[in-house]
Structure 1
Amino acid sequence: MTVPRQLHLNVHLVGAGLGVHPAAWRWPAADPAAFADVDRWVEAAQVAERGLLDAVFLSDVPGRWGDITHDPQGAYYLEPTLVLTAIARATERIGLIGTASTTFNEPFNIARRFHTLDLISHGRAGWNAVTTFVPVVADNFGGTGIAPRGDRYARANEFVDVVLALWRGLPAGAFVADVASGTFTDPALLRPIGHAGAHFQVRGPLPLPPSPQRYPLIVQAGASDDGRELAARTADAVFSGAVTVPAAAAYAADIRARAERHGRDPAAVTVLPGLLTSIGGTEREALDRLAALDELAQRDDALPGLAAKLHLDPDTLRLDHPVPPRLLPEQPDEPGGPVLHAGALRLARQGLTVRDILRRLWRSGHLVAAGAPEQVADVVQAWFEAGAADGFTLMPDVIADGLPAFVDHVVPVLQRRGLFRTQYRETTLRERFGQAAQVNC
């Protein structure tokens, strides 16, 4: 009997856990200080688990960046694995995916940290491997600046390989604990990985036993060619960005073709584009909600930031006029936020006024679904059935009331349509994503 294909739905607790919209912290339902209260993170995860979502997803930037005056997302980041540990003790089934940089960490520490989370959560952990392009972060780790993309990804590829070698090298039979014989561990089964590479020298092994899923899920957000190669070669799930079905379908096809070239089953890579949601009882209510949030975020002093993304002099821009086409660059540069820069350029080329670009910039690079629950479900279903996505990484406008709106009103619609689970059947995150952990490197 063939099991019908079903959606995967993660939720990104973005915006310091307040919501993806830059004005989420100002919304009446939100607590502006919620980002610093672990109980609020736990409550959001419990709502997501009530909705049977696959996993919660936490991003991380170990430094302050962007507009910290008006947006908490650039100012405050709790350490993800510590937050996820608290969530693990207050939930039972939902997955726990945290971000950690391959540029500003060591593979042994990351392997140990996430595998410990995996043991604490009984096999529900996942690691989102990123290379980090935010220049200010480098100032917190030696001040040598952000390396070129190619160098970052060369390090990232070796980093992920070392982490996987450490995880896959954990033999299930090494932990004996035989009281009668007095043997606690079989040292013959604990073999060092003996890695000696261009970036890392790691002996191993990890001082840990395997978890119920053997080791955590690997997540990646591959956008550039280097990023896509890393994702296709190593990732179990990919967080992507697209605003049209053809673009999303082309991205998914490209990732799967690359995975196959690396000797992997292309169906083993789950592609989850970001989906920004704004939900109301009716379409009009949802659009009014989004407009009210945009109005709260509107600031004339944001113009210099837009000018920087477009590599223009702020004096050349007028709020109620389009950006002069002759001034637009051909493409954004890196480092410094390629998704936002590309989004700003795309909006400017549409002939929007500078004011409208500023209102829409927060959503650039990702699909927006604003409407009644049935309409949001229609968008999800259309992309899923077109093969543009295996599901989505949900990014509610405001976590406080936007996440419950999706869980309580959109999820039931998807369940009635036979697109989403009605109960958790799997106990580990790997099982939920159809991934069998490989024992050998």
Structure 2
Amino acid sequence: MNASRSKGRAAVLACSTMVMTCTASYAQGSAAAGDEGAARIEGLQQQLSEQARQIEILKKAVADQEARQRELQRSLGQQDARPATGPTEGAQTAPNQNAGSEPDNTQRSVRVGVAPSDESQQPPVVAPLFEQPGILTPKGKFVLEPSVQYVYSSSNRVALVGYTIIPALLIGLIDVREVKRNTITGALTTRYGVNNRFELEARLPYVYRSDATISREIFTGSASDAVFNSSGKSIGDIELAARYQLTDGGANKPYVVGSLRFKTRTGKDPFEVVTDCVTRCVGNTTGTGLPLDLPTGSGFYSLQPGVTWLFASDPAVFFGGISYTYNFKRSGISRQVLNGEQEFIGDVEPGGIFGINFGMGLALNDKSALSIGVDLNSIGRTRQNGAPVPGSVRTQLATMLLGYSYRYSDKTTFSITVGAGLTRDTPDLTMSIRIPMTF
């Protein structure tokens, strides 16, 4: 009986031992499985964090790329004035609006027919070549533009004083003159944007002129050339202008701007300066007949209506313009001569000026632009007392222009223009520097 009890106790002890062993083994397996799951979850979390970081980097890269693209389009004039057409535009602007948030793959509904902003309706910016700028001043902005222009021209004149018996035989003298002209004009131009389509302009010039005339005095027996120098400096003719944008350009249509310019005669006109007319005037045979002081103005009021256009065609911008300058007639004019005397001239009406220009601009990068163009002007004959002045003919002027501009900042731009005369009546060299500053 005791033996039976001992066997029973041994069996119970063995069963208990087996149960404890199984429980320990199960606990160890569960702990191992838990550690493996936690490690896997931690790895997934790290992977998600890395993917989220990469998504943020991609968002930032896309936003920077779009910002550079908009800046390049602004410099090239590729901002087309057209309404939004669907979800694509909303998708393009999403990176800038939702930077730092979770990506949204759903399409955004955009109202079709939204009017473009006023900035997108502005003409493209090109390196300026001509007097009239192509881009208008934004609403409420003020532009101050100091500029300096240098003009050099030379001309030769041959006058036959006498008469000819046969074409090969001249009885008299030959008067040959060579004239060198240098003109420096410093100007301060201001422009104000009344609204995004209309601007006003005022220009105040200061002119310095220097002429050197090389000639040999006739009837004096001189065997050498003489040089007669004259100069003049004063305020030039103040100009007032207004420009209005007529059309909104786009992908397939140009920007058109109408302008009206009025030129005063605040400068010293040719009839106010004293002329060396003691020894060479009508009826006299020797002397210079040249003004002792050079004028700094034209002496006539003028009005110039015009139209300019710009057409953006990637990667270039084409531009041009047409204008007509009407000079108002002056009556009862007399010119000043030495000793306080005056020579009566009468009524004088300068000929009108028909002008046309065209060119092409190319953006080199987001800060620099290069332009090339041609400026043509046809000047009509001057009339005195209702009849054309003897010897006055229609004059053709043509200038080839090359311009470069550099955008120093969002408010300041440096521009330089160099021109070469294409006809004998056109100045040989023209060079100007402009620094428009926006406030």
Which one has the bigger strand percentage? 2
Q: Higher RCO, 1 or 2 (CA under 8 Å, sep at least 6)?
A: 1
TM category (shorter chain) comes to under 0.3
**TM-score, with length taken from structure 1:** 0.26
Which one has the bigger helix percentage? 1
**TM-score, with length taken from structure 2:** 0.26
